[in-house]
Structure 1
Amino acid sequence: MMNQDLKVFNTLTREKEPFEPLHPPFVGMYVCGPTVYNFVHLGNCRTFTCFDIIYRYLTHIGYKVRYVRNITDVGHLENDADEGEDKIAKKAKLENLEPMEVVQRYANNFHVVMEQLNNIPPSIEPQATGHIVEQIEMAQAIMRNGLAYEVNGSVYFDVRKYNLQHQYGKLSGRILDELVSGTRELDGQGEKRNPEDFALWKKASPEHIMRWNSPWGEGFPGWHLECSVMSQKYLGQKFDIHGGGMDLKFPHHECEIAQSVGYCGEEPVKYWLHTNMLTVNGARMSKSAGNGILPQELFTGNHPLLEQAYSPMTFRYALLQTHYRSTMDISNDALKAAQKGYMKVINGLRIAKKMQYAADDSVAVDSKAVEEINRIIASIYKGMNDDFNTAVALSALLNLLKKINSIHNGQMKAAMLDEATFQKMIATYIAFVEDVFGLREEVRTDIDRIMSVLLGVYREAKLNKDFGMVDTLRAQFKELGIVVKDMKDRIEWAYEE
């Protein structure tokens, strides 16, 4: 079923290119995962959910995908410019915890949020601290190749020397001379040969908690090195897709390219994909602006900017409405509209799963209806094949839902379609809702409110002396493991013991 019409926008070439994996039907995909020193925010959720959908679609059309998403648990320094304290170590000091306690706490939170959003776990989820030996080995190899140097126990990548034969900045479109002129003077920059050089390994200061032995003394790896090491270990020196948020293009992904070329002489990735930013009421989301919203704040409605709670599937539906490379805006109006859209799609899913084809010899097959449904189905795939454009595909899916609803409501007979077309329509709708878009029915579990309504019916039956209904309701409650208790002044319920 592999669709050769699929095209992806390659950030490196800035063009839509036919998707041609290096070793079909196998696809290697690496996505920069969370840095576990802070709780995951909605921008992270957008990135990981978008790549979850990409992973799902590639699998749906027949590719065998090895999806690797790392966890950064060391090396992310305060100013992200090779200086300052490790953020995880700083959290550990402030909270009087072991650094790996901090890592585990935030990793657990991340996994909970990913499950709430129905994101499939990656094939492999490596952690930076589990690959220290490999990071040291890569740094040594880059030094042997003449593109890194050691100063006072730290190892830096020589960007200017690299740029003599290669182009540093090609992914982000930046020019090295402009980067040099715009580089800030930071503490510790004096030991670098060039201000734009970046750390492969940092010497640990006496108070630094997370440290490992190395040929250059005790220290820890630079932030950028881990992704080069782990992607190559699990996907090979060159693989198909590397993804992340657009904020990672520079410097993180730019440094990854340079490191890989410095290590093995080859650029590591065929297709670079980046998700765009998330805004709130038109403004960029940030803590300083007071509009940073955490997932649990969204799901509970516990944030000053939110008028109500919005469920995980509502947020996922909202993501589908915007192409991953476009800016996505979060607002109450947009989320309420997404909530309605999600309910419509899920109601359609419930209907589709129950629908059966009913042959009727008195009804002729309508060739135009058959043609239209096949055209709609083709439009769904066409949207996804155009750089995973979920907005276009979702719009077409809603058109398919109209056909399903028209049959369900009796406006159109199923026999107006041949059975093969009917089954294709149902199978396509279910597959895209559940398997590709990853939407699932959110069952409401507020049992107290539900039982209050049902006990109202029970009470009404008793007042009307409809004892047949009373007995029926009691029996149905019992089947559900619930006992109704008739008290003197009230009616209560309990779980059957």
Structure 2
Amino acid sequence: MSSSLTIYNSLSRTKEPFEPLHPGIATVYVCGPTVYGHAHLGHAKSYVSFDVVVRWMRHVGLKVKYVQNITDVGHLTDDADEGEDKIQKQARQERIEPMEVAQFYTRSFYEDMDRLGVERPNIAPTATGHIPEQIALVERLVETGHAYEAGGNIYFDVNSFAGYGKLSGRTDQEALQSGGRVADRSDKRNPSDFALWKKAEPGHIMKWPSPWGEGYPGWHLECSAMAMKYLGDTIDIHGGGMENKFPHHDCEIAQSEAATGKPFVRYWMHNNMVTVDGVKMGKSLKNFINLKELFNTFEPLVIRFFILQSHYRSPLDFSEAAIKASQSGFEKLQETYKRVVETPEGGGQIDVAAFDEKITDALNDDFNTPVAISVIFEFAKALNGALDKGSLDAKSKTGALALFDTFAGKVLGILKNRNELLAGQSGQSARTLDDVMAVLLELRKEARASKDFATSDKIRDLLLQRGIEVKDTKEGATWSRKKA
């Protein structure tokens, strides 16, 4: 008999049986992207990983209510309470409205996720669309003595909440040290206090009226407000990257539990980071991997397969050799599936149930996708051995196809569409478009370099008429399909 679902809870630092607060219903909130640039491989690891979490829970019979936000205001450049809003900074560099930046990169993000087979969340709320809810949460914290006004800003008083830092394990002294660099120029009572609402300085574009004057919400505030609005005061699962444990998730816990007096999250899940040839990926290191560029070389499903060969809590190291090895394995898996579909029924047999149980046990063990995939490859090897001897009987063939369709297809999302696979056309249209666009963008780049802006603009406008939007950035031109 297969095991029941267990999840590694970052708060307790142990694996725990998953028991939803409301029987049969799982509430899930995952921190979404800050939309000021194109999605990268780190985004892909996070959202592909949580996509499998949601898919598996639905497969085992749970009704999942999945919320993933879009951060389109309040995320400052130092990831805390200082610096410039990331979206406003990008808007200034591109000389366009901040909302234009946010909407362009939101469309780009969903386009990339769609190509990776990431299913859309039930609700995708934006921070700018929930300003009233955020103001109401701040008012509640001020009224109960957990927050205070200073210089037009509203800060959360961490000394008013005994559990601050319980997720990350950061001590009070560590938190003090992390805030010490801004202590001399801050109006906080304590360097560890964090901003709930920031006063808009002259020239700040993204601002809203509030009881404390015009301003904008702190980055941490939006997730608490939106999670509780759509999922209730206590939610089952909150996911995000490990880098968000402190300060983002610690701050979410503090402000939410201080406001309600109830546990905010029952199971915290954190995915690990992406490295490139063993070095942490980052723009400053110039090893940043843009998904759109990666898709020019590798099929999106190959990228998804590559990601899921690593456990969500383990780092994912990208290298050309690693992804080419994944591509080889991915193609072999598709070929075995195709072979089973095309082989006539005969007399050969295979124990499908044993493999089914192993895969189920792996996914029930904290969504262990690398083990599940390894078992699928064991299954493929056994299938090829049986097919080399002749064929499969009706029961074995039906069971084999069901296993592929369920686990490789429905749950892991690493199986090509059967009709396209048999026709040999899967991914061909997308690759052809990528190749054509690469040529057009190169021609446009040459036109701009020779100051032939009429030709450059004509290429851009003709593509836009056909639903393809070209955007010029500091890193070069990018393109995306324009949503209706």
The TM-score normalised by the length of structure 2 is: 0.83
Residues 25-424 of structure 1 correspond to what in structure 2 (within 5 A)?
25-162=24-161, 166-186=162-182, 189-300=185-296, 309-354=297-342, 357-358=345-346, 369-370=350-351, 373-409=352-388, 411=389, 413-415=391-393, 420=395, 422-424=397-399
Q: Whole-Å Cα distance in 1 between the matches of residues 126 and 402 of structure 2?
A: 38
Contact kept, 8 Å, 2:344 with 2:391, in 1: the verdict is no
Partner Cα separation in structure 1 for residue 3 and residue 233 of structure 2: 25
Query: Is the CA contact 1:6–1:387 (under 8 Å) kept in the aligned structure 2?
Result: yes
SS of aligned partner of 1:56: helix
Moved more, 75-84 or 31-40: 75-84
| Letter aligned with residue 385 of structure 2 | S
Q: Are positions 1:437 and 2:412 aligned together?
A: yes
SS at match of 1:200: strand
Give the drift of 1:189.
4.5
**Cα distance between partner residues in 2 of 1:387 and 1:30:** 17
- Residue matched to 2:482: none
User: Counterpart of 1:322 in structure 2: which amino acid?
Assistant: S
Q: For residue 466 of structure 2, what is the aligned residue in structure 1? A: none
Cα deviations by residue, 1:270-290 (Å, 9 ceiling, x for unpaired): 110000011111111112222
CA deviations on 1:103-125 (whole Å, 9 max, x unpaired) are 11110110111011111111110
Residues 40-70 of structure 1: CA deviation (Å, up to 9, x unaligned): 1111111011001111111111111111100
* Per-residue deviation, 1:185: 2.4
Q: CA deviation at 1:422?
A: 4.5
Between the aligned partners of 1:433 and 1:348, the Cα distance in structure 2 is 12
Distance 1:432 1:273 in 2: 22
1:320 partner letter:
L
Matched-pair contact (CA < 8 Å) for 1:349–1:430: no
**CA shift at 1:158, angstroms?**
0.2
* Distance in 2 separating the partners of 1:188 and 1:295: 41
Distance 2:343 2:122 in 1: 35
Q: Given the superposition, is the C-alpha separation of residues 90 and 447 from structure 1 closer, same or farther in structure 2, using an over 3 Å criterion?
A: closer
Contact 2:405 2:415 in 1 (8 A): no
Contact 2:340 2:397 in 1 (8 A): no
**Contact 1:377–1:400 (8 Å) recurs in 2:** no
- Which structure would you say has the larger RCO, counting Cα contacts within 8 Å and 6 or more residues apart? 2
Please give the secondary structure, in 1, of the residue aligned with 2:123. Answer: coil
Deviation at 1:440, TM superposition (A): 4.1
* Contact 1:434 1:440 (C-alpha < 8 Å) held by counterparts: yes
SS in structure 1 at match of 2:169? coil
SS of residue matched to 1:240: strand
Instruction: Report the CA distance shift for 1:135/1:182 in structure 2 as closer, same or farther (over 3 A).
Output: closer
Deviations 1:337-393 (A, max 9, x none): 1001111122223334445644x5xx8xx7xx53xx322221111111110000000
Tell me how far 1:395 sits from its aligned partner.
0.4
Q: Please give the alpha-carbon distance, in whole angstroms, between the structure 1 residues aligned to 2:403 and 2:211.
A: 57
Of 73-82 and 186-195, more deviation after overlay is shown by 186-195
Aligned amino acid, residue 216 of structure 2: F
Structure 2: distance between partners of 1:184 and 1:170? 20
Tell me by how many angstroms 1:190 deviates.
2.7
Shift of residue 412, structure 1, vs aligned partner: 5.2
My pick for the range that moved more, 25-34 or 179-188, is 179-188
Query: 1:226-263 deviations in whole A, cap 9, x for unaligned?
Result: 00011111111111110011111110001000011111
CA distance in 2, matches of 1:248, 1:178: 16
Task: Between 213-222 and 435-444, report the one with greater CA deviation.
Answer: 435-444
SS of the residue corresponding to residue 283 of structure 2 reads coil
How far, CA to CA, are the matches of 1:329 and 1:224 in structure 2? 29
Measured at CA, do residues 353 and 430 of structure 1 come closer, stay the same or move farther in structure 2, by a change above 3 Å? farther
Distance in 2 (CA, whole Å) between partners of 1:238 and 1:95 is 40
Q: Distance in 2 between matches of 1:254 and 1:85?
A: 22
CA distance in 2, matches of 1:84, 1:182: 15
Q: CA 1:4–1:447 in 2, change beyond 3 Å: closer, same or farther? A: closer
Residues of 1 paired with 2:257 and 2:164: CA distance? 11
Q: 1:353·1:430 contact (CA, 8 Å) conserved in 2?
A: no
Q: CA RMSD in A?
A: 2.0
Distance of 1:4 and 1:22 partners within structure 2: 20
Partner-residue secondary structure (3-state), 1:260: helix
Question: Given the superposition, is the C-alpha separation of residues 210 and 344 from structure 1 closer, same or farther in structure 2, using an over 3 Å criterion?
Answer: same
Q: 1: CA distance between counterparts of 2:118 and 2:134? A: 29
Query: Could you tell me the TM-score, scaled by structure 1's length?
Result: 0.81
Gaps (5+ residues) in structure 2?
A: 417-425, 434-484
Question: 1:9, CA displacement in angstroms?
Answer: 0.3
Check whether the contact 2:28–2:235 (CA below 8 A) recurs between aligned residues: yes
Distance 1:261 1:161 in 2: 11
Distance in 2, Cα, partners of 1:311 & 1:14: 36
- Residues 151, 191 of structure 1: 8 Å contact kept: yes
Partner Cα separation in structure 1 for residue 34 and residue 165 of structure 2: 24
Check whether the contact 1:180–1:196 (CA below 8 A) recurs between aligned residues: yes
CA distance in 1, matches of 2:208, 2:150: 17
The one-letter amino acid of 1:324's match is: Y
Contact 1:377 1:425 in 2 (8 A): no
Match of 2:467 in 1: none
Give the total of aligned pairs.
Answer: 423
| Separation of aligned partners in 2, 1:84 and 1:187 | 14
**Does structure 2 retain, via aligned residues, the 8 Å contact 1:85–1:208?**
no
Question: Aligned in 2, Cα 1:118/1:87: closer, same or farther, shift over 3 Å?
Answer: same
Q: Distance in 2 between matches of 1:43 and 1:173?
A: 24
Shift, 1:426, TM fit: 2.2
